């Protein structure tokens, strides 16, 4: 006996929209989850929305919708997130790349001489910053470090997928792996953990419950990692080299007060929401 076909894709999509109805992005989320469950491109879905889907795809779709309703971030359900127009694999071992972090990439490109420069991305997570820079700066020598081996495994897969063969990955607590090696960089870039305990408690459940805690939390004040980075980075920068890193809301003044006389050209870049987002400083 032939297996009964599942419902039409369009009907399943509408059912998903109804189930996700309370969410601000219900239409988009239902479509993204349906495409994932039925392994379809958007073009193929739009070309034949009345085509029946398989019962397996229907069951998978309903499971994904259920998990989304429980609060699992969309990117962990689809296993992918775009950053700098590049699709990155994400797993629960890495935080989901955020669009505001693109400000950091823009800043590096603005300051780069497009030459044989050396760059290290500290706390690389999915590898999104390092891979985006590798694509934009083909002559640069790029290292990417993280304290988490699991994150590094994801980042290595992303680099391989996007042919960023020149990116070297290594495990390191901030820059400690370079102690005693004589390494000096033109750029030290980082989107470090910068959320305080208090802010963590106030975060939406889908961030707090699912994204890796150690990737986001930085002590009582939120500035633990940034403080260590600012204090330690000078020793690993060439004279005139740049330290460029992301900050959280309300941190700018406290972060600026961390820089001593060894630093010049300390500047702030704002994100699209008008928030101070990236600090740049130059080693004198």
Q: Applying CB under 6 A, which residues contact ligand SAM?
A: 94-95, 97, 101, 122-126, 128-129, 145-148, 151, 172-174, 191-193, 214-216, 225
The total number of residues written for the chain in this structure: 284
Nearer to ligand SAM, 29 or 211 (CB): 211
Nearer to ligand SAM, 192 or 241 (CB): 192
Closest CA to 251 of 215, 231, 279: 279
Nearest distance from residue 200's CB to ligand SAM, in Å?
Answer: 13
C-alpha torsion angle, residues 49, 54, 57, 59 (rounded to 10): 120
281 forms beta bridges with: 243
Return left, alpha or beta for 30; rule: phi > 0 is left, psi -120 to 50 is alpha, else beta: alpha
CA dist., res. 150 & res. 232, Å (int): 25
Nearer to ligand SAM, 247 or 281 (CB): 247
CA dist., res. 257 & res. 242, Å (int): 17
Nearer to ligand SAM, 45 or 76 (CB): 76
Nearest distance from residue 130's CB to ligand SAM, in Å?
Answer: 8
Nearest distance from residue 114's CB to ligand SAM, in Å?
Answer: 22
Return left, alpha or beta for 74; rule: phi > 0 is left, psi -120 to 50 is alpha, else beta: alpha
Nearer to ligand SAM, 54 or 80 (CB): 80
Contacts of residue 85, defined as CB under 8 A and 6 or more positions apart, other chains included, come to none
Nearer to ligand SAM, 64 or 128 (CB): 128
């Amino acid at each position: 006996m032939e297996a009964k076909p599942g419902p039409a894709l369009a009907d399943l999509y509408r059912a998903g929209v109804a189930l996700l109805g309370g969410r601000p992005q219900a239409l988009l989320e239902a479509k993204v989850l349906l495409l994932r469950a039925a392994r379809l491109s958007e073009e193929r879905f739009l070309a034949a929305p009345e085509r029946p889907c398989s019962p397996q795809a229907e069951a998978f779709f309903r499971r994904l919708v259920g998990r989304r309703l429980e609060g699992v971030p969309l990117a962990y359900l689809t296993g992918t997130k775009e950053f700098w127009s590049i699709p990155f694999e994400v797993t629960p071992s890495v935080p989901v790349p955020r669009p505001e972090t693109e400000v950091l990439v823009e800043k590096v490109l603005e300051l780069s001489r497009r030459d044989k420069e050396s760059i290290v991305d500290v706390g690389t997570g999915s590898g999104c910053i390092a891979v985006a820079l590798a694509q934009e700066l083909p002559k640069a020598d790029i290292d990417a470090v993280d304290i988490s081996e699991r994150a590094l495994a994801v980042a290595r897969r992303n680099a391989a997928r996007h042919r960023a063969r020149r990116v070297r990955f290594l495990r390191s607590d901030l820059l400690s792996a370079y102690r005693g090696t004589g390494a000096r960089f033109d750029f030290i870039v980082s989107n470090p953990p910068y959320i305080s305990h208090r802010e963590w408690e106030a975060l939406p459940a889908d961030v707090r419950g699912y994204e890796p805690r150690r990737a986001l939390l930085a002590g009582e004040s939120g500035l633990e990692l940034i403080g260590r980075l600012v204090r330690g980075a000078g020793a690993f920068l060439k004279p005139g080299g740049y330290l460029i890193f992301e900050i959280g809301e309300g941190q700018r003044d406290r972060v600026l007060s961390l820089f001593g006389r060894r630093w010049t050209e300390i500047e702030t870049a704002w994100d699209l929401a008008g928030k101070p987002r990236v600090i740049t400083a130059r080693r004198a």
